[in-house]
A and B are shown apart, each in its own frame.
Chain A
Amino acid sequence: MNNVGKNMNDVIPSPVGREAPKDSVIAQETLKMKARNVDVFYADKQAIDDVSIDVGLENVVAFIGPSGCGKSTFLRCLNRMNDTIPIAKVTGEITLDGEDIYASDMDVVQLRARVGMVFQKPNPFPKSIFENVAYGPRIHGLAASKLDMDAIVEKSLRRAGLWEEVKDRLQDSGTALSGGQQQRLCIARAIAVDPEGILMDEPCSALDPIATAKIEELIHELRGRYAIVIVTHNMQQAARVSQRTAFFHLGTLVEYGDTSDLFTNPREERTKDYITGRYG
């Protein structure tokens, strides 16, 4: 644990005269994803500049920052979603359980099952609720029998807090659900392949406050089981759901710290100006 702490401090130096918060060090046993000196270029334009961050199981991490700051770009690096953009180039090191996810022998399909993604707009397949959840386990060969598959679907829907609402209509189309239910279905779909991490890109921005609260409660429930990173424009949401918050600005990681510290006493002037709604 001490080694990890040292390492963190080497990479992300605390500003002079302030010690890093006690729990900024992520215990080795719960550390899942580690990014070091990550740069991202879209052709000649640099979108991410030297970002290093640790993500553990115990702490939900929120990425905040103004539009175009690179938070979504960086999120997408964590399961190589940027590979789908031909002009994007990622350098630096990102590991999952110590394994370099950009290694040439990394199976990207497998990686995206291990680190699932939930998008801003719920995107269920135009198939039944059951099939939406069963699809992933089937292509990854996770269920040996129909019974197995039923169990996986039920467990995933339960963990996503959707089971009670849909158990009697599993054959209905996923697209017939409400927006909030669709989003939880997408989370169930991500969970079904037994991932290690879940990346959420503005998962609630299309939802009403009740549906949003359900997703936030779900994030709270899932914490500890999966490494969770959420990108959000809603600072109150970041404050509510995360234990660690990273503030991005112009492609750099300005500040990464405990959520409770960052929102009450940010270290950096730029963070303060952003979270208090001032002109920078």
Chain B
Amino acid sequence: MTMRLGKTTKILAAAAAIGLSGTMAAQARDIVWARYGDIDTLDPHRATSTLSLQVWSLIYDTLLATDATGAPVPNLAKSWTSNDEGTEYTFLLQDGVKCHDGSPLDANDVKYTIDRAFDDANPSVTKASWGPITGVEVVDPLTVKLTLESPFVALVPFLADSFSSIICDTNGEGFGTTAAIGSGPWKLESWTKGDKIVLKRNPDYVNFGKLAENKGAPYMDGLTISVVPEPQARLAALKTGEVDIAEPPFDDVAALKESGELDIVVAENTGQNVFWEFAAHRPPFNDKRARLAVGYATDPAMAIDLIYGDLSIPEACPVSRGVFGNDQEFCLKYRPNYDPEKAKALLAELGYGPDKPLETAMLVWTGGNRQKLAEIFQAQLAEVGIKADIEMMDIGTMNARVRQENENAEGKGSMDMMTWSWYDPDILYALWHSPGAYRGYTTPELDAMLEKTRVLTDPEARKAAVQEVFKVLLEEGVHIPLYTPGWEWVFAVRPEVQGFKVAPFVYPNFNDVKIGES
């Protein structure tokens, strides 16, 4: 009996030792980044989630990259030119770039990627964002020419986004599930769905344009991206050192900053835009005065300061900082800014008063402390005589509901705190060009203005056109911006981890990361 016990104890001790050495080795060499959820796929043509995009950006590279302000800069393509009409783009590629399997990355891989995105039988789920591309021509191994049916200027920022990740043409069986050959800083080692993605350093990587000081391969040997859905567990894992980088629980951020136990990194220029929009086809919000009254009645600066502190900032434009055309000064001139007296005056004009409040539903997406934020807005609206009933729902239900409200000719008023993110003002086309993403406010004049923003190749001319659209959306109270960022942008980092950066549009970058002694 004692013999057996002894044996068991030994085995247990050995198992514990293996377990321990396993974690210790990982700590010394690999970066561990924990997120609340998993990727949908390793195939950049089959998903749209931020969680997926962030991982693609580590495995694959893109023709262009974004600088700190969000503007496109050369990357795999060292330069590009377009014809005057904006229907032909020619890209000159960097020489000597290698895919993870050792094959050279050249114009054929670019053609492979785009042809794959436009495959008739199984097109990319983001095919539309490439624009009306009709042909991809390999001029020579390092030159590739794209032909468009009509001008589409949002193509350029798109090529800096990981939706346009260049997929090496040597990919085959298992691509997207067990294999992913790219040319990015990290190679895929394994993906256990729902659990973790294990990446290894790509020693051949050269950084041409990504936002990192390191021009070569990453410093660390590996990067593990694990799924830890519960914020408190992420914080616990950060404290024990099991995890190096993770999104902390919101309510703990202030205390963490104070104690200095963990560093807080806030992503800038995320493109995330949180705004009011309205069921504009029926009373009361078919009258622009009612919509503007909501704008004048709400003070986003005060509300987000209470809930998010300095983690979020007010946003005045319909597309957020980091996106082409954004100009706070310009937008503030036309946005209905906080002025409760003006709100009351408009409501009085419409026949509302202390005895007869304007009644509306306020639809809000669950999570990220938005419930508390909505309560503050509700109180601000009550101050001027707007009675808003908060309805919290998951984002899927909310999207369906907003469209339903727009299609309903009857019923009480409906407004919602909507959230969108994109790297180009072309997003406004999807939202407000008829029929509109949610069948909301549209006019033929606005349609024409939005169409113009898609075809103007001269940046100055396009900027003016985009800002014309801003002006209409703000003056008509169609899209009243509140704040940015809106979700997923705060990272807590262990103090021994140096060099962690987040590029615009929430792309974390690990090329500069070095882990010192803790």
- Whether A associates with B in a native complex is no
Q: Name B residues whose Cβ lies closer than 8 Å to a Cβ of A.
A: none
Q: Name A residues whose Cβ lies closer than 8 Å to a Cβ of B.
A: none
